[in-house]
Structure 1
Amino acid sequence: MADPIVVRSLDEIKFWSRIMKEHALFLSLGFTYEQKLLIAEAQQFIALFERIEEKLARFTVNSELSQVQAFNNEVYQATAAIWAYKRKVLGLTLRCEIRSNNYPLLIDHISREAAYFANRLKDLNSGILAPKADAIIEENVFFLRIMADHAKFIGHLLDPSERKLVEQAGEFSHDFDQLVFQAIDLDSMQPQSETKPLLSHFLNENKVSVASLRDFKKTARELIEACRIKSNIHPLLADHTFREAERFLEIIDLFEASLKRA
């Protein structure tokens, strides 16, 4: 029987390595012509995560745990490096040392995702398969904030003439901001054992909201790919945000299953 740590590790690397590679691409596309060194660094990270994807293909769910743990460490180092690069770019941007088409919030957003991925790899190598009940809310805060950010980015990258879609994106942004605050409130209600029914309800509420946003992203992606709406959204970025919403739905399912076992 396959080791669950191996299975989960390979799944996390498959999903997040592609995300990291695409982050580097999006940053490179947002830099201006004279920012050649930053573009070159981004391209190096694209190549680095492509090599990781190639190496990942050699593993199976029946691979030795020790080999997968060593691979986790290798991917962790790459992820820590791209996190540092993203934070460097954010610092340059906030100090107005560079001006690019990358929003500061977007740079912070993608650095938070790199930190999350790195921490998942550390947890897995420590034998932690899924967060315990008292960490579920914290992880929801992370993903809810990611979803809220996506709605904001979509709203700001759509052409202003796309009034209805801009309005819908704004509504999603507001809704997910409220869910973040709701999660923070729930997190402060101790002890956690007494909030289990509330947590179950909260996860279900999140699932409904994320599914709705996922469907909005799917429609937007299809319209962008067919050149039927006006925007500055790269088709790959539209697909990227859609995949992250799908991922959050999968994670909610894992949370719900772990609550039932608790």
Structure 2
Amino acid sequence: MSDLFVARSLEEIRFWSRIMKEHSLFLRLGFRCEDTQLIHEANHFYAIFEEIERKSHAFQTNADPQTIKQFNVEVYTAASHIWAFKRKVLGLILSCQLPGANNFPLLVDHVSREANYFRNRLAELNAGRLEPLPDAIIDENVFFLKIMADHAKFIGHLLDPSERKLVDQARNFSHDFDQLVFQAIDLSSMRPQSQTVPLLSQFVDQNKVSVKSLRDFKKTARDLINDCRIKSIIHPLLADHVFREAEHFLVILDMFEHFLQGPKRSES
């Protein structure tokens, strides 16, 4: 179990510290020139999570669990601080104190939800109290389906309006994932009666098909942006960022599928 704790902790930190680092960059790019204090804070968080990412890759999976537990506490503190920074920025935007800045309120809320998810996961790992699998299947899907729906909305708004076909595709994905979010919330409200293997299996399979389609769309958009073949104000790193998050969600869905199939997988 100690080896699993170390592996899971490092996996989460390696993925999410890079995400947090990139959030700092995206927020900074959206601030106005005169927002020097906010720019300074964003740069500070970029440096913090860059160092956390570096340290996470320096550890091996045979590292001392107590050392990793202490590292988790350090990272939890950093995640809590960047969460507070993001919520502060959201408050400034919603109270019209940053007129002309380019960070959508939904985007700032989105990145704060991811920071909160990250710190909660670290707390769960350190406490040794990960959710039971049936609860995790529903809660992870509610969280990530909303993330995917948000991504589709951001892509649709950041593409040039003249890219009509791609904008329409993004809007369609936004609608589809909104529906999946509502379905996930409905399944959640029916707990525990809804947590049967057949229902959860169908739930995971359906979501996996949709996430794969969105992942492929994001990959295409990323490649077109990198090749300067479409018109948009999407930063190439942002295009890759949302693609990686879809890939991460698919890994989680694959894990759920594996557990739900159980012995049948090994028999086939």
Q: In 2, are the aligned partners of 1:133 and 1:259 still within 8 Å (CA)?
A: no
Q: Please state whether the residue corresponding to 2:58 is helix, strand or coil.
A: coil
| Alignment match, 2:236 | 235
Residues 192, 135 of structure 1: alpha-carbon distance in 2 compared, 3 angstrom cutoff: farther
Q: Which stretch has the larger CA shift, 109-118 or 57-66?
A: 57-66
Q: In 2, are the aligned partners of 1:133 and 1:192 still within 8 Å (CA)?
A: no
What is the letter of the counterpart of residue 63 of structure 1? A
Q: RMSD of the alignment, in Å?
A: 1.6
| Alignment match, 1:98 | 98
The separation in 1 between residues aligned to 2:182 and 2:151, in whole angstroms, is 17
With structure 2 as the length reference, what TM-score do the two structures score?
0.94
The separation in 2 between residues aligned to 1:20 and 1:27, in whole angstroms, is 11
Q: What CA deviation, in whole Å up to 9, does each residue of 1:107-154 have, x standing for no partner?
A: 000000000000010111112356531232122110000000000000
| Alignment match, 2:60 | 60
Q: In 2, are the aligned partners of 1:159 and 1:230 still within 8 Å (CA)?
A: yes
Structure 1 segment 17-36 matched on structure 2, within 5 A: 17-36=17-36
The separation in 1 between residues aligned to 2:195 and 2:48, in whole angstroms, is 46
| Alignment match, 2:266 | none
Structure 1 segment 162-177 matched on structure 2, within 5 A: 162-177=163-178
Q: Please state whether the residue corresponding to 2:196 is helix, strand or coil.
A: helix
Instruction: State the 1:14 CA deviation.
Output: 0.4
Residues 194, 148 of structure 1: alpha-carbon distance in 2 compared, 3 angstrom cutoff: closer
Q: In 2, are the aligned partners of 1:189 and 1:195 still within 8 Å (CA)?
A: no
What is the letter of the counterpart of residue 160 of structure 1? P
The separation in 2 between residues aligned to 1:194 and 1:5, in whole angstroms, is 26
The separation in 2 between residues aligned to 1:54 and 1:131, in whole angstroms, is 31
Q: What CA deviation, in whole Å up to 9, does each residue of 1:23-80 have, x standing for no partner?
A: 0000000001111110000000000011112221221000011000100000000000
What is the letter of the counterpart of residue 203 of structure 2? F
Q: Please state whether the residue corresponding to 1:116 is helix, strand or coil.
A: helix
Gaps of 5+ in 2: 264-268
The separation in 1 between residues aligned to 2:147 and 2:245, in whole angstroms, is 9
Q: In 2, are the aligned partners of 1:159 and 1:231 still within 8 Å (CA)?
A: yes
Residues 193, 180 of structure 1: alpha-carbon distance in 2 compared, 3 angstrom cutoff: closer
| Residues paired across the two proteins, number | 262
Q: Which stretch has the larger CA shift, 54-63 or 43-52?
A: 54-63
What is the letter of the counterpart of residue 60 of structure 2? T
| Alignment match, 1:188 | 189
Structure 1 segment 36-115 matched on structure 2, within 5 A: 36-99=36-99, 100-115=101-116
Structure 1 segment 7-26 matched on structure 2, within 5 A: 7-26=7-26
Q: In 1, are the aligned partners of 2:187 and 2:194 still within 8 Å (CA)?
A: no
Q: In 2, are the aligned partners of 1:4 and 1:129 still within 8 Å (CA)?
A: no
Instruction: State the 1:2 CA deviation.
Output: 6.8
The separation in 1 between residues aligned to 2:47 and 2:39, in whole angstroms, is 13
The separation in 1 between residues aligned to 2:57 and 2:192, in whole angstroms, is 44
Instruction: State the 1:189 CA deviation.
Output: 2.0
Q: In 1, are the aligned partners of 2:14 and 2:57 still within 8 Å (CA)?
A: no
- The alignment status of 1:205 with 2:206, answered yes or no, reads yes
Q: In 2, are the aligned partners of 1:5 and 1:129 still within 8 Å (CA)?
A: no
Instruction: State the 1:187 CA deviation.
Output: 1.4
| Alignment match, 2:159 | 158
What is the letter of the counterpart of residue 5 of structure 2? I
| Alignment match, 1:146 | 147
Residues 105, 32 of structure 1: alpha-carbon distance in 2 compared, 3 angstrom cutoff: same
Q: Please state whether the residue corresponding to 1:57 is helix, strand or coil.
A: helix
The separation in 1 between residues aligned to 2:131 and 2:6, in whole angstroms, is 13
Residues 130, 255 of structure 1: alpha-carbon distance in 2 compared, 3 angstrom cutoff: farther
